[in-house]
């Protein structure tokens, strides 16, 4: 068989993802923080992009469109020559009352209305509550006369000083910071161990602490070889460090952490030491076995357990001053007084990006060579595409969120017990999009509802078949039902997994015992035997 090269012409249809399309898809799955960082980087690279809030080129203020796809007065560019990204989605479906949506209980609600928060008007009219006697026409003070002499000049005339003090004041010098764990331990190390060699070993031990304050996997021999000292010296420094504040620091295990704290309180007697050697019995709440091992009665066991509960198994967390990161919702939902729900995009999470058409026209006229013209044109196209992508992202989020609210209407009215099974395909088919698009939209997006702040992924749960073979139940609703029954059980009537299965099947939920056990363990609920022991010990 002879091999030869030849040229053939073939016609085929392929889907090519342009860089712009890839960027639009990427924007869908970004959180509000990631989106803000992305827009900041684009503004740094593109001179035609600006954030809303500053005056446009030429001294006129930018006019931001209030509606999706709306135009500013006077044309697309507006008086300031700026194009808004249209992220305020006002009346996407219109504020007209659409057909009523059926609810799970047979009633109807009005169509979910998608609106936006009110934007700041750029009108020249003053607010009705303005006191004109307190309004200054200039930002410089005067002596009250018509042609008054200036008391203070402009910032540049005053040399950048505040006008009240001659010396430079550093406000940052007045700020205070919380002492961290390392600084707290280092201060004690310098006082208790004056020897510089011991301090070096102590600093190495401090660096080995985990976030709980433990020395997990500590190897004294390896540290001694690394520092070139004896193992006995490392153990001696470690024993000294274990007396530092907070109590329990530098422990190598839970047993040692509790023992250090009990020793400081003078409660580490032989019975307590035996209990620490058998913590697994305490975890299983096996009181008879604990009494046998420790050689004490039930009253002493109760006192010992009470002492252990007062201890801190993670002493380093007391110095964790990292502020909690609050979730900023991307979508705001509230009840409509006339019926139905109102859904807004949170304006605080929407980067308002403007395209400066006036600046583009000016630099286009001054460009002389071909490379400059191509660069300006490419930057202009990139800026317009970013504005379009941001607008498309906002409208897609609203569409997905409104459909989720429509399908989970019973949840917002009655609670978790009425959460219905929902998958990505249900939303995708309802709004005419692909499942992957819905998945990207619901990633890292949060919605503030009358029942709290939820991630959009929360509303997608698997289905559990009903006992009648037709109706299905949400897995999240079933987990909530299991937790509710366990919380309401009495000490003399603790529900086993088999009993929970029996009750759920009586309520029309066909579920296996292993599924109940899996849900219970996922919620960190002990077994029926452990719960019974715990409830009996509290009586």
For residue range 138-164, what is the model confidence (pLDDT) as tens digits? 443 344 444 433 333 333 333 444 444
End-to-end C-alpha distance for the chain, whole angstroms = 92
Picking from 389, 393, 360, the residue whose alpha carbon sits closest to that of residue 46 is 360
Give tens-digit pLDDT for 36-79. 999 999 999 999 998 876 443 433 333 333 333 333 333 323 33
Residues 338 and 379 in one domain: yes
Residues 483 and 389 in one domain: no
Residues 365 and 278 in one domain: no
Give CA separation, 126 vs 30, 60, 123, 250, 364, in Å: 39, 18, 8, 64, 38
Look up residue 280 and give its two tokens.
Answer: 């697994």
Contacts 24+ apart (CB under 8 A), 233-240: 233/197, 233/198, 233/201, 234/201, 236/198, 237/193, 237/198, 237/201, 237/202, 237/205, 238/205, 240/192, 240/193, 240/198, 240/202
Residue 325 lies in a domain: no
Look up residue 404 and give its two tokens.
Answer: 């989720």
For the ranges 242-246, 462-466, 475-479, which has the lowest average pLDDT?
462-466
Residue 392 lies in a domain: yes
Provide, rounded to the nearest whole percent, the portion of the chain with pLDDT above 70.
Answer: 74
Give tens-digit pLDDT for 495-535. 888 889 888 888 888 888 898 889 898 888 888 888 887 77
Last residue of a domain, one of 296, 319, 342: 319
At residue 474, φ and ψ (nearest 5 deg) are: -70, 140
Last residue of a domain, one of 294, 319, 344: 319
Helix (H) or strand (E) holding 108: strand 108-109
Give tens-digit pLDDT for 82-115. 344 433 333 333 333 433 333 444 444 444 555 5
Look up residue 516 and give its two tokens.
Answer: 């109940």
Residues 204 and 261 in one domain: yes
Q: Are strands 446-449 and 353-356 parallel, antiparallel or unpaired?
A: unpaired
The C-alpha atoms of residue 383 and residue 46 are separated, in whole angstroms, by 7
- The pLDDT of residue 88 is 34
Confidence bin at 430 (pLDDT 50/70/90): very high
Q: What is the CATH number of the domain that holds 532?
A: 1.10.10
Residues 482 and 518 in one domain: yes
- The pLDDT of residue 61 is 35
Q: SS3 for 263-289, per residue?
A: HHCCCCCHHHHHHHCCHHHHHCCCHHH
For the ranges 216-220, 323-327, 498-502, which has the lowest average pLDDT?
323-327
- The pLDDT of residue 394 is 92
- The pLDDT of residue 456 is 93
Residue 518 lies in a domain: yes
| Residue span of the structural domain in which 496 resides | 473-537
Residue 223 lies in a domain: yes
Helix (H) or strand (E) holding 102: strand 101-102
Contact 315, 213 (CB under 8 A): yes
Residues 368 and 444 in one domain: yes
The C-alpha atoms of residue 404 and residue 178 are separated, in whole angstroms, by 43
The C-alpha atoms of residue 207 and residue 219 are separated, in whole angstroms, by 14
Residue 463 lies in a domain: no
Look up residue 442 and give its two tokens.
Answer: 């619901």
Q: Write down the mean pLDDT value for the chain.
A: 76
Confidence bin at 446 (pLDDT 50/70/90): very high
- 175 pLDDT exceeds 80? no
Read out DSSP for 16-47? ---HHHHHHHHHHT--HHHHHHHHHHHHHH-T
Domain count of the chain? Answer: 3
> Strand locations in 248-347, DSSP E?
331-335, 341-345
For residues 182-208, average pLDDT: 90
Residues 247 and 300 in one domain: yes
Residues 437 and 358 in one domain: yes
- 165 pLDDT exceeds 80? no
Last residue of a domain, one of 293, 319, 345: 319
- The pLDDT of residue 108 is 40
Widest CA span in the chain: 106
The C-alpha atoms of residue 395 and residue 178 are separated, in whole angstroms, by 44
Residue 269 lies in a domain: yes
Confidence bin at 25 (pLDDT 50/70/90): confident
- 178 pLDDT exceeds 80? no
Helix (H) or strand (E) holding 302: helix 298-309
Residues 297 and 185 in one domain: yes
Residues 305 and 336 in one domain: no
Picking from 171, 282, 195, the residue whose alpha carbon sits closest to that of residue 533 is 282
pTM (2 decimals)?
0.59
Under DSSP, the state recorded for 113 is: E
Residue 409 lies in a domain: yes
Residues 369 and 398 in one domain: yes
The C-alpha atoms of residue 214 and residue 257 are separated, in whole angstroms, by 8
Give start and end residues of each alpha helix (H) in 408-457: 409-414, 424-431, 435-441
Confidence bin at 352 (pLDDT 50/70/90): confident
Q: SS3 for 462-509, per residue?
A: CEEEECCCCCEEEHHHHHHHHHHHHHCCECCECCCHHHHHHHHHHCCE
Residue 135 lies in a domain: no
Residues 266 and 338 in one domain: no
- 188 pLDDT exceeds 80? yes
Which is it for the CA torsion 60, 62, 66, 69, positive or negative? Answer: positive
Q: Are strands 49-51 and 353-356 parallel, antiparallel or unpaired?
A: antiparallel
- The pLDDT of residue 259 is 92
At residue 440, φ and ψ (nearest 5 deg) are: -65, -40
The C-alpha atoms of residue 423 and residue 415 are separated, in whole angstroms, by 19
| Distant-in-sequence, close-in-space partners of 277: CB < 8 Å, separation ≥ 6 | 255, 293
- The pLDDT of residue 176 is 56
């Amino acid at each position: 068989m002879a091999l030869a090269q030849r040229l053939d012409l073939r016609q085929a249809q392929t889907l090519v993802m342009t860089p712009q399309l890839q960027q639009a898809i990427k924007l869908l799955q970004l959180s509000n923080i990631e989106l803000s960082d992305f827009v900041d980087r684009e503004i740094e690279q593109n001179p035609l992009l600006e954030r809303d809030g500053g005056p446009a080129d030429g001294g006129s203020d930018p006019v931001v469109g209030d509606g999706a796809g709306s135009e500013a007065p006077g044309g697309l560019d507006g008086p300031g020559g700026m194009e808004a990204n249209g992220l305020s989605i006002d009346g996407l479906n219109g504020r007209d009352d659409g057909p009523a949506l059926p609810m799970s209980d047979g009633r109807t609600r009005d169509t979910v209305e998608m609106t936006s928060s009110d934007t700041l008007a750029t009108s020249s009219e003053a607010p009705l509550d303005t006191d004109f006697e307190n309004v200054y026409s200039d930002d410089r003070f005067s002596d009250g006369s018509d042609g008054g002499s200036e008391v203070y000049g402009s910032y540049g005339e005053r040399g950048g000083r505040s006008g009240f003090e001659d010396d430079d004041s550093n406000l940052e010098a007045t700020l205070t910071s919380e002492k961290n764990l390392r600084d707290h331990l280092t201060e004690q190390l310098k006082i208790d161990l004056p020897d510089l060699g011991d301090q070096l070993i102590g600093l190495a031990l401090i660096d080995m602490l985990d976030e709980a304050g433990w020395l997990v996997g500590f190897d004294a021999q390896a540290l001694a070889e690394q520092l070139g000292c004896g193992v006995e010296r490392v153990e001696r420094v470690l024993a000294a460090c274990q007396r530092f504040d907070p109590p329990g620091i530098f422990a190598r295990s839970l047993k040692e952490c509790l023992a250090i704290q009990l020793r400081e309180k003078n409660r580490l007697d032989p019975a307590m030491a035996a209990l620490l050697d058998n913590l697994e019995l305490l975890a299983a709440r096996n009181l008879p076995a604990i009494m046998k091992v420790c050689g004490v009665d039930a009253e002493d066991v109760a006192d010992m357990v009470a002492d252990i509960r007062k201890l801190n198994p993670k002493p380093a967390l007391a110095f964790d001053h990292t502020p909690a990161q609050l979730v900023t919702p991307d979508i705001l939902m509230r009840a409509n007084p006339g019926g139905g729900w109102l859904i807004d995009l949170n304006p605080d999470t929407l980067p308002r990006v403007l395209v400066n058409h006036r600046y583009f026209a000016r630099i286009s006229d001054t460009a002389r060579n071909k490379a400059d013209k191509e660069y300006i044109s490419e930057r202009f196209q990139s800026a317009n595409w970013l504005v379009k992508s941001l607008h498309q992202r906002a409208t897609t989020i609203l569409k997905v969120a409104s459909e989720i609210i429509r399908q989970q209407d019973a949840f917002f009215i009655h609670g978790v017990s009425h959460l219905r099974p929902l998958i990505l395909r249900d939303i995708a088919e309802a709004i005419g999009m692909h499942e992957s698009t819905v998945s990207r939209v619901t990633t890292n997006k949060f919605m503030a509802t009358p029942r709290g702040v939820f991630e959009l992924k929360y509303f997608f749960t698997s289905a559990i078949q009903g006992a009648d073979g037709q109706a299905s139940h949400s897995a999240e609703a079933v987990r909530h039902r299991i937790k509710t029954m366990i919380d309401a059980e009495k000490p003399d009537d603790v529900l086993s997994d088999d009993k929970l299965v029996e009750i759920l099947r009586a309520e029309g939920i066909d579920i296996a015992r292993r599924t109940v056990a899996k849900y219970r363990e996922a919620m960190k609920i002990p077994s029926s035997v452990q719960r019974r022991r715990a409830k009996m010990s509290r009586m």
